[in-house]
Amino acid sequence: MNYKYKDWLMQIAFTFGAILFAMFIGSLVIMFIGKNPITVYQSMLQFTFGRSDSIGAILFKSTPLIFAGLAVALSFRVGLFNIGAEGQYFIGALAASIVGFSLQGLPWFIHLPLVILAGMAGGMLWALIPALLKVKRGAHEVITTIMMNYIAYSVVHYFVADLFLDKAQNLPKGYGSPMVRMPKILESARMPTMHDFVGIFGVEMPRYIYLNWFFVIGILLAIAVYILIWKTPFGMEIRAVGQNPHASETVGIQSKKVYLKTFLISGAIAGLIGLSDLLGYIGYMDTDFPRGYGFTGIAVALLANNNALGVVLAALLFGFLRRGAEGLQAIEQIPMDVVVILEGVIILSIVVASQLMRRYFKTQEKKREKESQKTSASDGDKEGLENVE
Amino acid sequence: MVSRDLVIETKGLRKSFPGVLANDQIDIDIRRGEVHAIVGENGAGKSTLMKMLCGLYQPDAGEIFLNGEKIELSDPGKAIKLGIGMVHQHFMLIPRFSVTENIILGAENSNRGVLNFKKAHAEVEELCKRYEFDLNPKELVADLSVGEQQRVEILKVLYRGAEVIIMDEPTAVLVPQEVDELFKNLKLLVEAGKTVIFISHKLDEVLEISDRITVLRRGQKIGTVNKEDTNKKHLAEMMVGRPVLFTVEKGEADVEGTVLEINDLHYSENGQAILNGVNFEVKAGEIYGIAGVEGNGQTELVETIVGLRKPASGSVKLLGKDITGKEVVDIRKEGIGFVPEDRHKRGLVLPMTVAENSILGKHNSKDLKKSLLLDYKKIEALTKQYITDYDIRVSSPQVEIGNLSGGNQQKVILAREFSGEPNLIIAAQPTRGLDVGAIEFVRKELVKARDAGKAVLLISADLEEVMAMSDRIGVIYNGRITSEFLPEEVDHQQLGHYMLGSEKEGAAK
Amino acid sequence: MLNELFSPDMMASAIRLTIPILLAALGAIYSERSGVVNIGLEGMMVVGAFWAAWGSFNYGPVVGILFGITAGMVLASIHALVTVTFKVNQIVSGVALNVLAAGISRFSSLSIFGMATTSPHVSGLPKMTIKPLAEISWLKPLVTEFSILIPISFILVGVTVWVLKYTTFGLRLRAAGENPEAADTLGINVFKMRYAGIIISGAFAGLAGAYLSIEHTGMYVEGMTQGKGYIALAAMIFGNWSAIGAMFAALLFGFAEAISLRRITTLVPYQFIKIIPYLLTIIVVSGFVKKSDPPAKVGTNYERGEG
């Protein structure tokens, strides 16, 4: 038992090692443009923790990443790779915004849940196709979901720029052209920000911080996913199929059904990724709708080792990095894309670290095995003698 | 004819894998220009020994000599350079490549990296002619029969100038006519001065083709004999050891009604018939043992019964109820406990804990749930019960099962599969790879289940085990139960004879 | 409308749009035939496009192209290190590289050019015109003022076919992707072959990016690859991992893109014409038209099976 504890510590050590390595690469990048990494990291910390508005901004930025990380982590758990979270959240956001601007006259407590459900349904629909093709035709989900991502971009573009283009935008004469966007989402479907709530505790959050209740929903969802994975029979099936589909089938688990259901849940969660921005911040769907959360979700899930609660922490870390990058751009004139580089390096170093860790554990196991063999070797010899008799 | 000088000699070779000592203290000597057979039962260590000779495995201890010089075979490339080539049991061919491409790969004659296919084809044709191999160099390997593919494998090593050709169970995949063809080729090779090491457990073939025979058992060398000085019976004894050393304490079988009834079961895969009309039944209170050389359909038979594979035709009935082709989960509900032959692939989810593995398959049962969630207290209590009942050596139910020894892993499977009060227990190779203590435990549990009135179907490649455990024995050959016996009716040698294809007169069903 | 669809202008545009897809798809063939999936093509194109623009801006177009190729190879080397040496999941590594490439290019663009989204205009290679053919009016758009990389790309198709089929290197590369264990037992260094396959694919993707920035557009534009790396992957799958097949697929996809760009039909929204390559790929990998037939061991990392 005591080695298990040691293994656990090792895991944390490797994770931190990977993050440190990424920071080291980041330092090289910073040095490349002639700045001192130490002062840069310092001012990043000062900016993110020295200002009252930063905490709210971090939480807001991490909100979509929580959903993205959960969606990807869940698919990893069952042994599938949902690269399609990207397309799924685009379709989810599209569905949500259609329901959001078209259903008039509903009270918020009906409209808002409807919009959220529409988002989940959209994501699920986009996951359904690759999932069915995987289970029925054996099509590799990585290829199909990548293709579905690009189909999603085009479909959304069609809806935004053609079918549902908001033609009722009234612009002051001579002030540019109308925006390529869909109609604005009705007030009844907007997600309220948390200003009033944090106000109860005497915290005043500036108006330009859009932290909203999706953050809380994300945390609750993470807990729910954690319970699903570790405390329910279905979660046990997910883990069993993910780790050994053959053994799972032998004990009567229908692995194809488990693949299908899990992928659909993953898609539904992915459908929520864009909603914090859509319903809590931007308020309409346009051609510049933020991209790339789905890919960052992969980084989040990997960093969290697919643990649902770890996803929250990893998302917060990425939120922190993104907030810090804004500061760097403002204070140090360092392009905030340095954080995207960091994200890429973190993914790579975390997966390399976990491979190294696996090798380390394997050799440890072999050592243990050899030791236990030594102790049982004497028994074996006796048995050999009996046989000769 | 056969010159007496040694090509290969090994001294004290030893190789172990986690949990298994595959080879220990192996001394063999191979003479130039002979066909030297290495025989032994499955798991006797033949393949490990050969893999050390061709550089795939490095020995833990011991030495290998080639033409009297000590050599280190760090990788297969080195062995090839020294003239030792191996024809693997599972062919190492690339189906999408032509015969020539497969043969020249890694030993290409090229002009600054550009291949000269004309020349290569001609070389291959020349080799084919010399050793009377019937092959078209330009054909794709994917389009070749198994026998032809094997010829490509042999040509591969010849093309590299091999003097010693190791063949790992070359006849296992061949039909009789192809075996004749192979033997013809081998004789030509030996006439041309090559040395052949021939691994097999088929004694008839061994006696037909080889000059000398080395027998391995449980990773150790039992002896080397000249063909003239031995016979099948003698070899069989060397292979399996002295007849039945262990006994299982068991009383008379108290047999009742039929539990499992298999009727004319057929199964095929990729167009190849694997089960060709299996018929037998297992009654409550008896152990029905299936003996047979591996690869005669045992795995498929068992997996068809439990629902992992869908039969082409025929029926499986459990207590009179037709369960043919149903889903695994539904079949298990009818009361089947299944101990699969491959523990790690089919039996357990290694990264999960002992507790989780103990309840896998039962995880939806109401007894283990508290409303929608799993009741971990109950699960833990149940697992602890299993741990005491089945004497599982583990510090806590929360340990990953991958960290347990093979014996303790198997005990977890037994606990899981036996505890649901099944009507039928299917145990496939239940003692494979276990240490003595665990073997005895598993055997006792099987007898206990039988005495409790359950029907037990035992599949084992270990003849001793089948003989000692079974109340009735069925011999499987080529996808059929060809004969049935009571254990006292037959001895080892007879049974071995039937396993190699003979049929009991008038008994074929 | 049909006239317009198959007009010489249209054809010329289709071929121009085919080239980056074709080059990257050829690269993908080397990588996949050696057994490694290269999702990172997109990223390799992105860095290729940026560094080619930078090289051309400072030292002229030839150096620019070399820079683009080198940048693709550098990124590919990371992929090789991570997947072949460290045996990390090939998809994860590719995704990470795409993220990394996007970050590097924006970051560099901002810190070097001071603009995130575009570079200044850069010069390309001298354009070619085949005089005698240019007289024929319906051929004119195809043979005047075209990039020299266009004929080179089609020559590279032939080169790829030849290398894979008729050289020792090609034979061994394919063996590493079909049956690495067999290759290993025959003394072939599977790791070396896979490194080679991946790095060559990086060179091709880098060249594809260079074509985009300095030949096709004349500047680096943020997001100019528009997922062409993935379309290239699709073209390779659609072309069944063969260079000739990938060429036809790339032509088809280039044609589809030309149609959607020119918006010559209002019958179908142009966004839906754009999705044709993706849809076709899904149909192919799902085995609806013919059996898709990838190298037997593509996507699996090779580990020597010593116990």
φ/ψ bin of C87: left (φ > 0), alpha (ψ from -120 to 50), beta (otherwise): left
Percent of chain B with pLDDT over 90: 50
Q: List, for residues A277-332, the tens digit of each pLDDT value.
A: 999 999 999 888 999 899 999 989 998 889 999 999 999 999 998 888 888 888 88
CA distance A256 to chain B (A): 12
Nearest residue to B296 (alpha-carbon basis) of B224, B195, B202, B368: B202
State whether residue C296 sits within 8 Å of chain B by CB: yes
Distance CA A184, CA C81 (A): 48
C93 Cβ under 8 Å from any chain A Cβ:
yes
Query: A294 and A149 in contact (C-beta within 8 Å)?
Result: yes
Residue length of chain A:
389
Give yes or no for C81 touching B (CB within 8 A). no
Single-letter code of the amino acid located at A235: G
C182 lies within 8 A of chain B by CB: yes
Q: Map tokens 């350079």 to a residue.
A: B81
SS3 state at B174: coil
Q: Note the pLDDT of residue C263.
A: 67
Residue of B207, B39, B156, B33 whose CA lies nearest to B50: B39
- In chain B, where the domains are located: 6-240, 250-335+421-509, 349-420
Residue among A263, A264, A260, A255 nearest A237 (CA):
A255
Does the pLDDT of residue B279 top 60, yes or no?
yes
Is residue B265 a contact partner of residue B315, using CB atoms and an 8 Å limit? yes
Query: How long a stretch of residues is chain C?
Result: 307
Any CB–CB contact under 8 A between A254 and chain B?
Answer: yes
Written as six digits, the tokens of B296 are: 């005669």
Please check whether residue A338 is in contact with residue A324, taking contact to mean a CB–CB distance below 8 angstroms: no
pLDDT above 80: residue B436 = no
For A184-206, give the DSSP string.
PPPGGGSPPBSHHHHHHTTPPPP
Who among B331, B352, B396 is closest to A240 (CB)? B352
Question: Which member of C98, C272, C286 has the closest CB to residue A158?
Answer: C272
| CA dist list (Å): B30 to B87, B429, C89 | 17, 34, 45
> Residue A41 and residue A57: Cα distance in Å, rounded?
18
B480 lies within 8 A of chain C by CB: no
CB-closest option in C86, C95, C269 to A162: C269
Q: Is the pLDDT of residue C97 over 90?
A: yes
- B361: nearest CA partner in chain A: A251
User: Which H/E stretch holds residue A126?
Assistant: helix A108-137
- The length of chain B in residues reads 509
Cβ-defined contact of A233 to B347 (cutoff 8 Å): no
pLDDT band at A16 (very low <50, low <70, confident <90, very high): confident
Q: Which chains, if any, share at least 3 CB pairs under 8 A with chain C?
A: A, B
Q: Do B345 and A244 touch (CB under 8 A)?
A: yes
Which of A314, A313, A321 lies closest to A340 in space, CA to CA? A321
User: Do C186 and B80 lie within an 8 Å CB cutoff?
Assistant: yes
> Is the CB of residue C68 less than 8 Å from the CB of residue C10?
no
Q: Residue A247: which of B241, B348, B405 has the nearest Cβ?
A: B348
Question: Which residue from A231, A368, A387 is facing B374, i.e. has the nearest CB?
Answer: A231
Two tokens at C238? 């659609």
Report the residue from C87, C97, C282 with minimal CB separation from A355.
C87
A349, closest residue in chain C (CA to CA): C82
Measuring CA to CA, which residue among A257, A243, A269 is closest to residue A132? A257
Subunit contact A344:C87, Cβ cutoff 8 A: no
Nearest CA to C54 among C280, C161, C213? C213
Count CB neighbours of B65 within 10 A. 15
In the prediction, which pLDDT does A370 show? 60
> Do C83 and C77 contact (CB within 8 A), yes or no?
no
CA C4 from centroid of its chain's CA atoms: 28
Q: Is B378 on the interface with A (CB under 8 A)?
A: no
Q: Are C107 and A335 a contacting pair at CB < 8 A? A: yes
C188 part of contact set with chain B, CB < 8 Å: yes
Query: Hey, is the C-beta of C227 within 8 angstroms of any chain A C-beta?
Result: yes
Using CA atoms, how far apart are residues C281 and C289, in angstroms rounded to an integer? 11
For residue range B91-133, list pLDDT tens digits in order: 889 999 999 999 999 888 888 889 999 999 999 999 999 888 8
When the pLDDT of each residue in chain A is averaged and rounded to a whole number, the result is: 86
- Say how far apart CA C214 and CA C203 lie, in whole Å: 16
Q: Taking CB atoms and an 8 Å cut-off, how many pairs form between chains B and C? A: 74
> Which residues in chain C are contacts of B18 at CB distance < 8 A?
307
A231–B373 CB contact, under 8 Å: yes
The structural domains of chain A, ordered by start, are 55-316 (1.10.3470)
* DSSP SS3 for C66: helix
Put simply, whether A135 touches C (Cβ < 8 Å) is: no
Q: Which residue from B57, B94, B107 is facing C306, i.e. has the nearest CB?
A: B57
Q: What is the pLDDT of residues A91-111, one digit of tens each?
A: 999 999 999 999 888 899 999
Question: Which residues of chain B lie closer than 8 angstroms to A77, CB-CB?
Answer: none
Give the C-alpha separation, B453 to B424, whole Å.
10
**Range B336-359 average pLDDT:** 92
For residue C33, give the nearest of C194, C181, C238, C166 by alpha carbon.
Answer: C194
What's the pTM?
0.85
Q: Which positions 3-42 of C are in contact with A (Cβ < 8 Å)?
A: 37, 39
Nearest to A92 by CA among A66, A60, A64, A55: A64
Instruction: Using an 8 Å CB-CB cutoff, list chain A residues near C103.
Output: 337-344
CATH topology of domain B250-335+421-509: Rossmann fold (3.40.50)
Q: Assess contact for C145 and C129: CB atoms under 8 A.
A: yes
Task: State how beta strands B480-485 and B114-115 pair.
Answer: unpaired
CB contact B350 to A (< 8 Å):
yes
Q: How confident is the model at residue A333 (pLDDT cuts 50, 70, 90)?
A: confident
Residue B81 pLDDT exceeds 70:
yes
- Please tell me the distance in Å from B136's CA to the nearest CA on chain C: 19
Whether residue C102 and residue A158 make contact (CB cut-off 8 A), yes or no, is no
Per-residue pLDDT at A195: 84
Distance from CA of C82 to the nearest CA of B (A): 25
Interface check for A44 against chain B (CB to CB < 8 A): the answer is no
pLDDT over 60 at A2, yes or no: no
Cβ atoms A277, A46 nearer than 8 A: no
Beta bridge partners, B13, equal B26
b/e sequence B94-118, b meaning 16+ C-beta within 10 Å: bebbbbbbbbbbbbbebeeeebebe
Distance of CA A94 to the CA centre of its chain: 19
d(CA A105, CA B199): 82
Residues of C with CB below 8 A from B96's CB?
174, 178, 296
**Higher per-residue pLDDT: A200 or B8:** B8
Record: fold of B6-240: Rossmann fold (3.40.50)
Cα→Cα distances B57→A241, B79, B164, C180, C265, Å? 33, 11, 18, 17, 65
Same fold yes or no, B6-240 and B250-335+421-509: yes
Least confident of A91-95, A242-246, B296-300: B296-300
The span from the CA of B44 to the CA of B464, in Å, is 14
A-B interface: how many C-beta pairs under 8 angstroms?
A: 92
**What is the arithmetic mean of pLDDT over C262-278?**
78
Measured distance CA(B214)–CA(C91) in Å, rounded: 49
Contact C167 B113 (CB under 8 A): yes
Per-residue confidence (pLDDT) for residue C281, from 0 to 100: 85
Question: Does the pLDDT at position C116 exceed 70?
Answer: no
Confidence of residue C1 (pLDDT cuts 50, 70, 90): low
Three-state secondary structure call for residue A366? helix
Largest CA-CA distance found in chain B, in angstroms, rounded: 81
A166 interfacial to chain B (CB closer than 8 Å): no
**What pLDDT sits at residue C100?**
92
* Cβ <8 Å between C106 and A335: yes
How many Cβ atoms sit within 10 Å of the Cβ of residue A333?
11
Is any Cβ of chain A less than 8 angstroms from the Cβ of B18?
Answer: yes
What is the CATH T-level fold of the domain C2-142+149-285, as seen in this structure?
ABC transporter involved in vitamin B12 uptake, BtuC (1.10.3470)
- Answer for the pair A369, B18: CB distance below 8 angstroms, yes or no: yes
Decide: residue A113, CB within 10 A, 0-12 exposed, 13-18 middle, 19+ buried.
exposed
Q: Pull the structure tokens for residue A188.
A: 């009844």
Burial of B319 (0-12, 13-18, 19+ CB in 10 A): middle
What is the arithmetic mean of pLDDT over A119-125? 97
Residues of B in contact with C183 (CB under 8 A): 105-106
- Could you give the strand order of the β-sheet that contains B321-322, starting from the edge strand earlier in sequence? B272-283, B258-269, B313-318, B321-322
| Lowest pLDDT segment from C12-26, C97-111, C191-205 | C97-111
Mean pLDDT of C31-42: 95
Q: Which residue has the higher pLDDT, A227 or B178?
A: A227
- pLDDT score, position A385: 29
Give the neighbor-by-neighbor strand order of the sheet with B455-459: B336-339, B424-428, B455-459, B287-291, B472-477, B480-485
C110: closest CA of chain A, how far (Å): 6
Domain locations in chain C as residue ranges: 2-142+149-285
Query: C137 CB near a chain B CB, below 8 Å?
Result: no
Given the DSSP bridges, would you call strands B6-17 and B29-31 parallel, antiparallel or unpaired? antiparallel
Query: Which residues on neighbouring strands pair with residue B31, listed in sequence order?
Result: B6
Q: Which two tokens stand for residue B387?
A: 């741990």
The ipTM is: 0.86
Q: How far is CA A54 from CA A208, A324, A327, B299, in A?
A: 11, 9, 10, 63
d(CA B362, CA C283): 39
Q: What does the alpha-carbon distance between residue C272 and residue C276 come to, in Å, rounded to a whole number?
A: 7
Sequence-distant (6+) residues with CB within 8 A of C63 are C55, C56
**Tokens 């989960």, residue located:** B329
The β-bridge relationship of strands B336-339 and B369-370 is unpaired
- Name which of A293, A340, A350, A370 to mutate to probe chain C: the one with the most chain C Cβ atoms within 10 A of its Cβ: A340
Query: Beta-carbon neighbour count of residue A109 at 10 Å?
Result: 9
Q: What is the pLDDT of residue A3?
A: 54
